Structures are given as C-alpha cells and as structure tokens.
Amino acid sequence: MASVSKLSASTFASSATSFSRSSQQQQPPMCCVVPRKRIVIFENPISSSKLSVRARQRTTGSLVVRCSQTDGNGSSVKRTTLHDLYEKEGQSPWYDNLCRPVTDLIPLIESGVRGVTSNPAIFQKAISTSSAYNDQFRELVQSGKDIESAYWELVVKDIQDACKLFESIYDETDGGDGYVSVEVSPRLADDTENTIEAAKWLHQWVNRSNVYIKIPATAACIPSIKEVISLGISVNVTLIFSLARYEAVIDAYLDGLEASGLSDLSRVTSVASFFVSRVDTLVDKMLEKIGTPEALDLRGKAANAQAGLAYQLYQKKFSGPRWEALVKKGAKKQRLLWASTSVKNPAYPDTLYVAPLIGPDTVSTMPDQALLAFIDHGSVARTIDSNVSEAEGIYSALEKLGIDWSFVGTQLELEGVDSFKKSFDSLLDSLQEKANSLKLVSL
C-alpha cells in the first residue's frame, strides 16, 4: 500500500477549571472565562488609525471559568465577549489549537468558542510535548503501524473527538458553525492530484459531518479545491496571503459548486483562511528598510488594510446573478476566516488582528494569546468596513513606496508551506525517536 503521505495529507494546555461564587455581590455575577493575571502596558507604537488599536494590554495566565449566574429560570447563563461577538456582530470565534484531552475545550465552548482549527505545527507541538498520546502510539507501533501511519491515527482520533464536542453547535446552526479543521499533508502543497486523493481519504476516515478538510491556497491546489468541493466535501482553504489568490479561491469554490451534481448544496460549505499578522511581519521589515517617516508610519497597518479589502471582495463575489443561481440550490457563502491573529510584534496591541476585523458572516480563529486578550479586554463592534477608504489609502500608499503585494503574497505562501513541512517532518522524527526509546521498532 502506498505511504500515507502520498495518499493523505498530509495547547490548549490543560487548564485548571475552577468554579466559584461571590456571596458579597448584590447580584449574581456573570460567568466568564478570564485570565488569572493581567498586566496593562500603554504604548503608542503606531499612529492613530481606525484599522489599528493603540493601547497594548498584555494578558498572562491560564483561562478559568470563574463564576456563573442564574437567568431567573434556574438555568445557568454563561457569557463572555465571544458570545457578544457572535450574537451582536455575526462573527464566529474559533479556537486555533488542539491537543489532548480534547475535553479541555469544554470550558472554551461554554465561553463562546464555536469551532476549532488545527495545522501541522499545532499537532507537532501537541504530540511531541504531551504524554497523553503515548499509550495510543505504543499500541499503534506494536501493531505494526509505520511512524507516519501512526501519526495520522493520533491526529484523526483528536479530530473525531473534537467534532463530537462541537456537534451540537453544528446541528443548532444547520451547518453554519461547529467545525473542526484538519489539514492534508503539507508535503502535497504542489501536488494537485494527490491533494485531491488526500482530501477524499481524510474526509472518509474522519467521517464526521462537521469536519473541514484544510487545503492550502497554492497555485497547484486551486484546482484541487474546485474538485474537492464538487465532490461534496467541505473545505477550509488555508494559507491565503493576497487579494489575487483570495479571488482565485472564491472562484474555485464557485466553480466547484457549479460542477457538483448535488441537487442540494446546503451541506457543502467552506471558509477561506486569510492570514493577517504574518503580512505585517514581512511588510514592516520592508518599510523599515525604506526608512522614511512615511514608510515607518505605515508599520502595523498593511495586514488589516488588506484584510479590509478582502472583505469588500467577499461581498462583491457573493452577490449578483451567478451567486443567486447557486443560492437557489441551497449554496452557502464561503466565509472569510481571519487566521494568524496572534501579534508577532510585542510593541503592538494584543488585539490588533481581532478587534479591527469584526464583521458579519466571518470567522476569527484565535490562538491562546489572542483569545485571552479579547476575552479580557476586547470590545465588540462592527469594524471590518468602518473605513474602507482608509484601507484603500493604506494599500495604495504601500504600493507607491515600492511594496509589491504580489511578492508579499508569494513570499509568505512559500514561508507558510515550508514552515508546515518542517513541523510535519520534525514531528515524524520525534515520533521515530520516541518509538526507538521505547524499543518498539528498530531502524
């Protein structure tokens, strides 16, 4: 049988959960997930802009469910800013992390998290640093599984278990939320046909209605996305770094829906994961190299400006006669998902890639840092299109300074694919070492 990588794809660290009630308050307090410690540091690293947040507030410590209240009918009510984000502004907060035990996700679900994303780097960290996988890994290798096959067994179990936790959200929203994403092998990023086969294989193996198969938005995989969608498989398109590639992703989704033989398209859904913070990481370096006051003033603004224009493109593409014809067959919009929302530059506000990107029919997937920060001091208001002209101005100003958006997108895509490949290979190496140390297999 061919190797798994050819056919396939390719923390939230256990947090203590405590429940307490305050008898000194006049009214029962609202239940929320909060950080144990909070350090507030006010800085002004970038000039005023509606596309940015000026005050940096750092949050440390793990999340705990602190308290609960009764709504008067005897039922427990638990609310955080994540609930407001979804209910008031129509944006779905997802969690960008996964590890064992997946039951650690329960407090987050209660706090408003509505889905989970994973990637090779997340599993590399989870499996290589946790002993929770040892028993299953031992059994797999003893049964004759090779290292890569064992890896996929570990991953699929986590994905299936997480899907079960989010199943009720999926059902309640009629397939609108409650998804868990798992990525095909990063080794297939330049392989159209094997990406299709990997997606089919992984979808069949996981066998959950609320699983998203992640496929990278590389040039080679755009046709893969169309084909997989046409087969009725829901897809999370990842590693999108430019407007041009994003438009190609939308077209692949629409082409796939149109090519599908399904009479009811309502169960074929997709998100387009548009990466944010990494854009600023690269563009800021280019601006600092230019070094003029005008260039330096644009640091920390490129990512959100481009994201704002992506939302405009989303609204344009999912309207008009072509889209309306698909809607009649039950088609759902491919929602924009903001990925890479953690702040890479410590001088920037810790909600910089969450707060300015709030808008209806979108998803924000947040790793620990961003999730902690937004729950602690995030504000909920529609911001994604609050100043489109400013976003256009920033985008154009960067072009005039010599920033080549095509180069930025291509470079970040190469770095993203390479990073996931390294994480994948590193994890397989560490699993091989673990097997050797346990004297389960010989080289």
Give the C-alpha separation, 133 to 144, whole Å.
17
Residues 177, 271: Cα–Cα separation, whole Å: 11
Rounded (10°) angle between helices 302-317 and 277-290: 130
Q: What's the per-residue H, E or C state across 167-195?
A: HHHHHHCCCCCCCEEEECCHHHCCCHHHH
What whole-number distance in Å separates Cα of residue 357 and Cα of residue 385?
Answer: 8
Task: Say how far apart CA 204 and CA 208 lie, in whole Å.
Answer: 8
214 carries an active-site annotation: yes
On whether the CB atoms of residues 80 and 60 are closer than 8 A, the answer is: no
Looking at residue 163, its amino acid is C
Backbone phi, psi, residue 236, to 5°: -100, 110
Closest to 422 (Cα-Cα) out of 185, 151, 158: 185
The one-letter code for the residue type at 115 is G
Q: How far apart are CA 156 and CA 208, in angstroms?
A: 11
Give me the DSSP letters along 265-290. -TT--EEEEEE-HHHHHHHHHHHHHH
Residue of 37, 164, 214, 332 marked catalytic? 214
User: In degrees, to the nearest 5, what angle opens at C-alpha 60 toward C-alphas 57 and 66?
Assistant: 105
Write the CB contacts of 74 (distance below 8 Å, at least 6 apart in sequence).
none
- The residues pairing with 214 across neighbouring beta strands, listed in sequence order, are 183, 236
Q: What's the start-to-end Cα distance of the chain, in Å?
A: 20
Peptide bond before residue 293 is cis, with ω within 30 degrees of 0: no
Query: What string of DSSP letters covers 99-155?
Result: -S-GGGGHHHHHTT---EE--HHHHHHHHHH-GGGHHHHHHHHHTT--HHHHHHHHH
Q: How far apart are CA 86 and CA 46, in angstroms?
A: 29
CA 323 – CA 330 distance, rounded (Å)? 11
Catalytic residues: 214
